[in-house]
Chain A
């Protein structure tokens, strides 16, 4: 027996009561996980316009499912506790408990997976943000194109809220035409020169939108001719750090989401611990109560354990049981062989009797 413990009647009662409280605590934890999933999903949906794919959504989706399932599972555990001390009602839970253990173990595994995924998917999140932000910056000027009219507002609000500029940094704005042709005077020489100076005929300039401006800068924001030191008095663009936001929006958003998921890490880990302790306690309660019911005196002492045989033996048992259930489906080659061998044997015996015995 693995980790067996003796349980008197009083200890069984205490175990049932304690487990009832623990399972209600686990129900609250399930609700907490569900709310966490909802919060994460809402935060991801809010910035869905700058994300190219929704792969990262698997984390909040799993949290939502696990939260709901864990509420149901732990509620069943509390019902089992309530019935465990009543010998007439407990047996009906017998069959269900096996399935319950499987589901609860699955939930724990899923929670561990979620924690692992939230670290593993960071690279995919960055990729998704990179492409989404690149598109957002490219379509910044298209405020007259249906489907893209709010791209400018989205990017402006994003840059102001997260204190970031461009995809990797502010220089991303130099490679994109972010001033729409509607507002360019094509008769002016400067505009014509700029458009002719690059292959695609785009109006590129070394300037950024106003949403890149840093309010903490001591001087009024410089948005245009950023690389030209002579265009502004007392200005050196390599050493000027406070004028614009220095962080890129991809970095800012990734940090934000990683921070969110990391801060929920300890909460999820403690929920896993609580769930595992519920599973172990239900197992002890089940074996102790079943042992007590098998005794002549149901109020006497019984033994509770985790596994009836040792770990290795239980594993072998389980394997053979699974193989047996699999074998029922197939035509049994072993029995076919055995029947064949028997048939041969009878033939041999018949031959032997047929052939005259050798003279002794």
Chain B
């Protein structure tokens, strides 16, 4: 009993072939879109490479790029095949390739689905990478004279200005780091020496933040130093003052930015996956309809198209048997009295092809 059979007249077959030709070309374009989405993600991740610790996140854009390129190629071939399918004689050229093509494309759509799901699963890795990366970047903010880290200050400042954020989780992260280099500290002053001595590691810590944490929307000029000291500034209460500095942490801000990008990409890839699957279904129907037409002999007659010839379980069983018997080709068959001279065909069922249609009975034999 065939799975989802549909009757196809000649005009219906032709129309199906033409529609599939157009859809395959649209799929080439969606493959190009996939490729460019992967490229875009790669560029976005590389832009902030200095703020991310080493983690395996490059595999997602790489996968999307590869899948996009393969999708272009596969659908280009599919377009050519469908273009030729209008004419039954030209179909004979592609007859043997079509089934492997459909099987390959079916497994390939799984890759697209995996690509889409990876976009959503990357979030956890990304968060961890950003956490560690940002903490490192804040620690090396002052090292503008160390080769390899000279531009970290500019990077962090531009990040805080652009994403409206301050510190890793909040502005208090800056209180725990020495972000002023020793080159600019007057070691002869008592106050500096006191601060350095007041903590175990000899770091110059203060309750101040860099200028890039300042909030543009604040009605008063920015207060950057002695933030927790209410008496240092007139009419100032650090508990209620909300507009002075950016309140969000940069990890949160960057994570939201990347999550938004990846969710949109994931959604687009899912839509493309559904589209590819529907094109594949159309091609399968076209293939079975044309094969049945050839079997019937009359190119203009009606034929059946289906997804699977027998039910799902039977097809699975048949294919498993084929795979099992493939290995038995070269073995001597002990069933026929151990005589190796008796000709036993390799795998008696496979010769009819996976559609499992027995050859037509010859009129002479019976």
Contact = CB atoms under 8 A, between A and B. Distances in A.
Interface of A: 143-144, 149, 152-153, 156-157, 160, 178-180, 182-185, 188, 209-211, 213, 215-216, 218-221, 223, 232-234
Interface residues of B, number: 29
Interface stretch (B102-110, B112-120, B151-159): B151-159
Nearest to A233: B186
B184 A178 contact: no
A221 B157 CA distance: 11
Nearest to B185: A233
B216 interface: yes
B181 A178 contact: no
A157 B212 contact: no
Nearest to B222: A210
B144 interface: yes
Contact of B153 (A144, A183, A218): A218
B144 A219 contact: yes
A184 B234 contact: yes
26 contacts: A157-B216, A160-B216, A178-B221, A179-B221, A180-B219, A183-B220, A185-B234, A185-B235, A209-B221, A210-B221, A210-B222, A211-B214, A211-B216, A215-B153, A215-B154, A215-B212, A219-B144, A219-B181, A219-B184, A220-B211, A221-B211, A223-B211, A233-B184, A233-B186, A234-B183, A234-B186
A234 B220 CA distance: 30
B101 to A, nearest CB: 42
Given A210-B211, A210-B224, A153 B217 contact: yes
Top 5 nearest A-B pairs (CB, nearest first) are A215-B157, A185-B234, A218-B144, A233-B186, A143-B219
A213 B214 CA distance: 11
Nearest to A144: B219
Contacts of B221: 178-179, 183, 209-210
Instruction: Among B158, B161, B224, B234, find the residue whose CB has the most chain A CB atoms closer than 10 A.
Output: B234
A160 B161 contact: yes
Nearest to A186: B234
Given A215-B154, A215-B157, 10 more contacts: A179-B221, A180-B219, A182-B235, A184-B234, A210-B211, A218-B150, A218-B181, A219-B144, A233-B186, A234-B184
Interface string B259-273: 000000000000000
Nearest to A234: B184
Contacts of B219: 143-144, 149, 152, 180
SS class of chain B's interface: helix, strand, loop or mixed? Answer: loop
Contact of A215 (B158, B217, B224, B235): B158
A160 B160 CA distance: 12
A152 B214 CA distance: 13
Contacts of A144: 219
A166 B154 CA distance: 22
Contacts of B183: 219, 234
Contact of B179 (A153, A213, A220): A220
Contacts of A210: 211, 214, 221-222, 224
B208 to A, nearest CB: 9
Contacts of B158: 215
A183 B220 CA distance: 7
Contact of B210 (A149, A156, A183, A220): A220
B180 interface: yes
A160 B222 CA distance: 14
A183 B154 contact: no
